[in-house]
């Protein structure tokens, strides 16, 4: 597990941008955190780094947004998914075939998620804008890139 800290929303976006440079087609990033922790801000920084020019918003009510940049970014929100059967509406297997997929509240879907993913747990800190981010690689895709991930987040890393 890698642990990082940010102290401003722009720092969270910058951290996400650093990670965006590592992704490959078919990657899944699961974002976990309380309301207001910064899951959408993370996605905004990630998308900006991948040349997305349109406004990135939370897909809480639409369930999924798709953005075109230098890679397709599928942005899902599982907050309103109360039963795993409802997740079929998200068409997750199809989305994972094209681009990179970020799922807010992805821990609601853990039993049906692929074993290869990067989990990003975002926690509120002491100050209003302080965040603690934990990165957990699950499966061989991220295990192969772990050293690259460590290098990418070095500026934000905490002991």
Kind of pairing between the strands at 2-6 and 72-77? unpaired
CATH number, domain containing residue 140: 3.40.50.300
Closest CA to 29 of 107, 94, 124, 127: 107
Give CA–CA dist 14/6, Å, rounded: 9
Give CA–CA dist 3/16, Å, rounded: 13
Total domain count, the chain: 1
pTM over 0.75: yes
**CB-CB contact of 33 with 122 (8 Å):** yes
User: Mean pLDDT across the chain, nearest whole number?
Assistant: 90
Domain that holds residue 44: 2-156
- Give the per-residue pLDDT at 112: 80
Report residue 64's pLDDT band, with 50, 70 and 90 as the boundaries. confident
- Give the per-residue pLDDT at 82: 60
């Amino acid at each position: 597990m890698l642990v990082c800290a940010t102290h401003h929303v722009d720092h969270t976006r910058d951290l996400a941008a650093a990670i965006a440079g590592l992704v490959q087609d078919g990657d899944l990033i699961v974002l976990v955190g309380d309301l207001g922790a910064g899951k959408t801000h993370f996605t905004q920084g990630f998308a900006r780094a991948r040349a997305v020019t349109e406004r990135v918003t939370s897909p809480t009510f639409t369930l999924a947004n798709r953005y075109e940049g230098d890679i397709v970014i599928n942005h899902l929100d599982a907050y309103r998914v109360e039963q795993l059967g409802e997740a079929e509406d998200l068409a997750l297997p199809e989305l994972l075939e094209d681009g990179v997929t970020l799922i807010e509240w992805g821990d609601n879907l853990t039993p049906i998620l692929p074993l290869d993913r990067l989990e990003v747990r975002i926690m509120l800190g002491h100050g209003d804008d302080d965040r603690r981010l934990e990165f957990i690689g699950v499966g061989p895709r991220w295990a192969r890139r772990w050293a690259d991930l460590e290098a990418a987040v070095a500026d934000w890393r905490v002991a």
